[in-house]
Structure 1
Amino acid sequence: MPNLDDRLHDIYAEVLHRNPGEGEFHQAVHEVLDSLAPVIDKRPEYADEAVFRRLCEPERQIIFRVPWVDDAGQVQVNRGFRVEFNSALGPFKGGMRFHPSVYLGIVKFLGFEQIFKNSLTGLPMGGGKGGSDFDPKGCSDAEIMRFCQSMMTELHRHIGEYTDVPAGDIGVGGREIGYLFGQYKRLTNRYESGVLTGKGLTWGGSQVRKEATGYGAAFFTDEMLKAQGDSFDGKRVVVSGSGNVAIYAVEKVHQLGGTVVACSDSGGYVVDESGIDLDLLKEVKEVRRARIHEYATARGNCATYVDGGTIWDVPCDIALPCATQNELAADHAVTLVKNGCRAVAEGANMPTTPDAVKVFSDAKVLFAPGKAANAGGVATSGLEMQQNASRDSWSAEYTETRLGEIMQGIHARCAETADEYGAPGNYIVGANISGFIRVADAMLALGVI
């Protein structure tokens, strides 16, 4: 990684020393600190009050055992996490991830990113994240229910609508949120709708929440293109992943005039030159919970499945990495640039490695970091919290309009801040500095806590 400004180097060294072996967290902290030297020049009080050091240390880290019984009657034991990172702007807010790769470093990286993402929305939400190394793949509904109930039996002590509000992430969708909320209600004897977001529409959920992260990434990309006098019209787009974020990024890109020609899962990727058949993709991934190769089988000669390999070999004008962290490496970025890619927007959290970001920067490719481009999910979670607090329910049209306005506002803040700090067109600098200043000012106002 590039060297940091001397005034921030010691802070990063301290992060490395106090958080050994947490590579993803180190990467996320470095990426933010790397943007903040110009802020110290204008606002030295941030350094004087140790805002940077406090920001890099979570307010609270919770790790706990999650025992549950599988369908064969065997006791299984997983580990649960909740990192409550920063509550200067509001209650901790961030998703729960169920995946075998989850460990403390992953949760801390996600929670750290969430601070700035939530700040950028302009809504009153702090940053946090959680999850477990539980793998829902191959589990029955009954096993997932038992796991979620056990998870919430401990987690409920630490959350609340004015304390910490979890949501979904990888491996945690509407089914899991339902089981978690049911157990919370049972344990607390309260119908506290605002304690979780991503709920079902009939029991406190919000319209457009399921679609929001993917829609938001497409909206942000559209704003980037508009700023260049361009649009999605006629553009060839590649979207990695085929989960919730990817599916609804595909849907909105198609509505905005682009054509998504490829998507993927952990086994491989499909190329459909006529454009991904969205109804079929939803059937395969949301209804049947099947692998992406079944999409290609159903499409026959219209689609090609590539086992393994990398989706970034597929030529495109716009790339939307929507799968997982560090999925797009430098060699992939070189290939994308060579094939004519003009814009990249992160639908996932930190899916692009630092070396790949440099490749895009050197090639003058528009690049939107996840804390800005994928903020639509948490923004709509914030709207869900507003509806819960007022005992109200908004229409899909109104909620999507609000989402679009929030994404436009995020783009404007990032662009204006980048201009102000001498980095026009650099959305990484704009997102990091804009997100940081709002949180830092709140931290200064609240005293040394």
Structure 2
Amino acid sequence: MNSKEYVQSVYNQVEKRNPNETEFLDAVKEVLTSLEPVFDNHPEYIEAGLLERVTEPERVVSFRVPWVDDQGKVQVNRGFRVQFNSAIGPYKGGLRFHPSVNQSIIKFLGFEQTFKNSLTGLPIGGGKGGSDFDPKGKSDNEVMRFCQAFMSELQKYIGSDLDIPAGDIGVGAREIGYMFGYYNKIKNVREQGVLTGKGLTYGGSLGRTQATGYGLVYFTNEMLQDAGKSFRHQRVVVSGSGNVAIYAIEKVQELGGTVVACSDSDGYIVDDNGIQLDLIKEIKLVRRGRIKEYLEKVPTAKYVEGFTGIWSVKCDIALPCATQGELDVEAAKVLVKNGTYAVAEGANMPSSLEAIKVFIDNDILFGPGKAANAGGVACSALEMSQNSMRYSWTFEEVDEKLKRIMADIYTNSKEAAVEYGYDNNLVVGSNIAGFLKVAESMMAHGIV
């Protein structure tokens, strides 16, 4: 069996075993199509059934989460934790609280996380988890009761040397605090490193809040500089307005770019004079408001209902930072038509496979999420290191380590692409670079 036949046969098996799990199947297909040349060079991987093992999670946990709302009514949500691959270290990956969460999404995220974590060069495996609980509109007490109910089950499967969750969409410092406090209460321990994304007063890391957004811009800047370009005087569109988007905007502005649009799940704003970041922070981080409130202070800006239209805003650089599947093939064509020359993903697979093909076919500089948005998990691993040492680094020390990690991810992805005959294709390069470290570790461990 040649490598093409092998990869196709494994995908067919994955598809048969996971019917209707669209998000997971798309993620597997995107990675597997990049790996054919690897198996030409390493036929021993085929003999070892490596791809069959890499595409099957080591453990999938699904559980009931009953909790009581402020009206005294019992609510029931569903919780998940997927421990995908521990070949290079303990499982590491965020928890997502959002109505869209299901097993397919968590498996897709865990699969992606395995290779993203590998790219950081740090000893962390891949995992992911979450719930279909929606914290939006809930009181602090309701969020606390849910987090405690969620952790009462999750605690059976995690630990600082086993599986270390962090935050993701819908899970910020508030939620991490509630879960961390309850974990330590019911386990009767003080296990500092069991969660990352913690507050600074109880084991968190300086720079963690900014890490994914800053890391995205550091990676993109490496990509731009390699092409003889920079952020300076460029129009930039950033989708989303959570932590990733906010700190991507902050770093782009520091590097001389002008961010002209951002969004939330209701719609998007356009400010040709440049987004006023302090106002966005006040609306989204302090008041937990909606992006359209921006117009109350900046009436010259424009607000448009529906967030998908943000990609029609003319820009030089696009940074999708909201959620998976937000940038489809039609949006990609509009970006190309409008002269956008660089796209880098700050979310997990925000661009559809068809959109990515449009970018590659049109020689757009493209930074895939598993490489470009690895800054968050990289800083989480740095938080784990500090917890283990009972020590904390300064913001500047963490930021410098993050810069170096993102530069190394870019370099390793580019070199892998060149080595395997895919010059300037960072999608293939990052997939191969991430996969090889996992593959070598799995081969060393035998069939386990």
- Which TM-score applies when normalising by structure 2? 0.99
Q: Is 1:332 aligned with 2:331? A: yes
Q: What's the secondary structure of 1:211's corresponding residue?
A: helix
* 1:418-429 matches, cutoff 5 A: 418-429=417-428
| Residue identity matched to 2:62 | I
Query: Residues 127-184 of structure 1: CA distance to partner in whole angstroms, max 9, x if unpaired?
Result: 0000000000110000000000000000001000000000000000000000000000
Q: Which shows bigger deviation, 105-114 or 9-18? A: 9-18
| Residue identity matched to 2:441 | A
Q: Is 1:42 aligned with 2:29? A: no
Q: Identify the residue that residue 192 of structure 2 maps to in structure 1.
A: 193
CA distance in 1, matches of 2:190, 2:278: 35
| Residue identity matched to 1:236 | R
Number of equivalenced pairs:
445
Q: Is 1:52 aligned with 2:55? A: no
CA distance in 1, matches of 2:294, 2:132: 28
Query: Residues 86-137 of structure 1: CA distance to partner in whole angstroms, max 9, x if unpaired?
Result: 0000000000000000000000000000000000000000000000000001
Query: Residues 313-365 of structure 1: CA distance to partner in whole angstroms, max 9, x if unpaired?
Result: 10000000000001000100010001010000000000000111111111100
Q: Is 1:229 aligned with 2:228? A: yes
Q: Identify the residue that residue 131 of structure 1 maps to in structure 2.
A: 130
Q: What's the secondary structure of 1:41's corresponding residue?
A: helix
| Residue identity matched to 2:79 | G
Q: Identify the residue that residue 395 of structure 2 maps to in structure 1.
A: 396
Q: Which shows bigger deviation, 33-42 or 5-14? A: 5-14
Q: What's the secondary structure of 1:172's corresponding residue?
A: coil
Q: Is 1:97 aligned with 2:96? A: yes
- Which TM-score applies when normalising by structure 1? 0.98
Q: Identify the residue that residue 372 of structure 1 maps to in structure 2.
A: 371
How far does residue 298 in structure 1 lie from its aligned partner after superposition? Answer: 2.0
In the alignment, structure 2 segments of 5+ residues that lack a partner are none
Q: Is 1:306 aligned with 2:315? A: no
Q: What's the secondary structure of 1:251's corresponding residue?
A: helix
CA distance in 2, matches of 1:28, 1:402: 29
CA distance in 1, matches of 2:428, 2:76: 42
CA distance in 2, matches of 1:281, 1:416: 38
CA distance in 1, matches of 2:62, 2:137: 25
Q: Identify the residue that residue 172 of structure 2 maps to in structure 1.
A: 173
In the TM superposition, structure 1's runs of 4+ consecutive aligned residues that sit over 4 Å from their partners are none
Q: Identify the residue that residue 358 of structure 1 maps to in structure 2.
A: 357
Q: What's the secondary structure of 1:238's corresponding residue?
A: strand
| Residue identity matched to 1:434 | A
How far does residue 297 in structure 1 lie from its aligned partner after superposition? Answer: 2.1
| Residue identity matched to 1:368 | G
Q: Identify the residue that residue 319 of structure 1 maps to in structure 2.
A: 318
Q: What's the secondary structure of 1:300's corresponding residue?
A: coil
Q: Identify the residue that residue 202 of structure 1 maps to in structure 2.
A: 201
Q: What's the secondary structure of 2:87's corresponding residue?
A: coil
Q: Identify the residue that residue 18 of structure 2 maps to in structure 1.
A: 19
CA distance in 1, matches of 2:19, 2:244: 31
CA distance in 2, matches of 1:45, 1:109: 26
Q: Identify the residue that residue 246 of structure 2 maps to in structure 1.
A: 247
Q: Identify the residue that residue 436 of structure 1 maps to in structure 2.
A: 435
CA distance in 2, matches of 1:258, 1:96: 32
Query: Residues 266-288 of structure 1: CA distance to partner in whole angstroms, max 9, x if unpaired?
Result: 11100011111111000000110
Q: Identify the residue that residue 154 of structure 1 maps to in structure 2.
A: 153
How far does residue 434 in structure 1 lie from its aligned partner after superposition? Answer: 0.3
Q: Identify the residue that residue 408 of structure 1 maps to in structure 2.
A: 407
Q: Identify the residue that residue 162 of structure 2 maps to in structure 1.
A: 163
Q: What's the secondary structure of 2:356's corresponding residue?
A: helix
How far does residue 299 in structure 1 lie from its aligned partner after superposition? Answer: 1.3
User: How many percent of aligned residue pairs carry the same amino acid?
Assistant: 62
| Residue identity matched to 1:297 | E
Q: What's the secondary structure of 1:344's corresponding residue?
A: strand
How far does residue 63 in structure 1 lie from its aligned partner after superposition? Answer: 0.3
How far does residue 226 in structure 1 lie from its aligned partner after superposition? Answer: 0.7
How far does residue 6 in structure 1 lie from its aligned partner after superposition? Answer: 1.8
| Residue identity matched to 1:337 | V
CA distance in 2, matches of 1:91, 1:116: 14
| Residue identity matched to 2:106 | V
| Residue identity matched to 1:357 | I
How far does residue 5 in structure 1 lie from its aligned partner after superposition? Answer: 2.5
